[in-house]
Structure formats: C-alpha cells, structure tokens
Amino acid sequence: MATVTNSPWKHLLLDALQTNAHLKQSSFFQLATVGCNGKPANRTVVFRGFHEGSQKIEIYTDSRSHKVDDLKRCPYGEICWYFTDTWEQFRINGKIEMIDSFNADPLKLHLREKAWFASSLKSRMQYLGCDPGRPYIVSETPNSYRLEPTDGPVDTFCLLVLDPEQVDYLNLKGNERVVFRVNPDNPESHEWIVEKINP
C-alpha cells in the first residue's frame, strides 16, 4: 500500500486510451446509477475528456433523460470502461455534478458553453429532438430544426462531471488488479492510496 498524489491512475487510463485509440468504442463506457426506484440503471455514454485538465471526467447528456432524474436522487455513478484490445478494465466511481441551464454559477455556465461548442453540430442537434425515452409519436417528430453553428447551448444540454473517489484497475493480460482510493482522511488533498488486490 502506498500514498501518492496527482491521480496515479490517470496515466494508466491515458495509456489505455492511446493504445486503443484505433477502436471507435474505446471512447465509450457504461455508466451505472441508482434509479428512482432504488434499482440499478446502466447505459453506454461517450467520454468527453477531462474537465479543465483535472482528473474529473466529462459526459454530456440530455437534461430530460432518466439518468438526470437518477442523479438528482443519488448523485453517484460508477463508470465501467473496458478496453477490448488491451483487456483492461477501469471501474471509476464518484460524485457527479450536473451543470444545466439553471446553474447559478457564471463560471460553470461558461464551462457548459465550452462543452457545447466542443460538440459537433450534429451532436448538438440531438438536444432539439423529442423527449428521449417518451413514447414515439410520428406527428411529434420535428422536421424543421434550425440551429446555427454560433447558437449557444439549448436548455436540454447538460454537462455531467464525475469526480473520481475510487478507481479499480484490472489488467486481464497481466492478471493484475490495483485499487486507487482518495485518502478519506484528507479528501481535498488529491492524495491517493494505492493497493494491489487479488484479481
């Protein structure tokens, strides 16, 4: 067991991202939440990068999606990120902050705007679509969206930021498993406790 600073797991994740970069799916992972019924929920989402160069992980979502309701009730998530070429798995859990159009902090609204413009125009268009998860009604299908490239974020665009508290790293090729935990005695220190565990 050792204690280190500077997100010791992040370089493992960056290495995995680089080695698996030729696979489109390497930027997808599964995000688990606790549903409003108290049961688990799980879906594939896209990795949108690290938040402002930190260790925090960005995800974009539609504020009308179920995961937003889940997170209002229980603001925790666990990412399961499996890299198919290198047989590495990262299980990353932590609290998720939601930054939507109602956020009162101008700095956070600015980061949300930055995220919006970092998406392709095609991705942005999705937030103008029908309420996801609601019954499909042909007559409701919007057929004349207008969204200019310079238009700012629409109300349904929501930035999620997961702040990792624990990363469970498994390497199936090397049959190794290491857990990284934020030091509970000093959570603000960015100090991580590193422990090798049985796979």
Q: Where are the beta strands (DSSP E) in 17-75?
A: 28-34, 40-46, 57-62
Least gap, CB of 109 to a second copy (angstroms)? 27
Of 22, 24, 122, 173, the residue at the interface with a second copy (CB under 8 A) is 24
C-alpha separations of 76 from 111, 152, 182 in Å: 21, 28, 15
Phi and psi at 69, nearest 5°, equal: -65, -45
CB-nearer residue toward a second copy: 12 or 111: 12
- Determine if 152 is a binding residue for a second copy (CB under 8 A): no
Nearest to 41 by CA among 12, 76, 90, 86: 76
- Determine if 156 is a binding residue for a second copy (CB under 8 A): no
Of 131, 152, 155, 189, the residue at the interface with a second copy (CB under 8 A) is 131
Cβ atoms 51, 161 nearer than 8 A: yes
Of 4, 74, 125, 194, the residue at the interface with a second copy (CB under 8 A) is 74
Interface residues toward a second copy, by CB under 8 A: 1, 23-25, 28, 30-34, 38-44, 74, 76-80, 82, 84, 89, 91, 93, 129-136, 177, 195-199
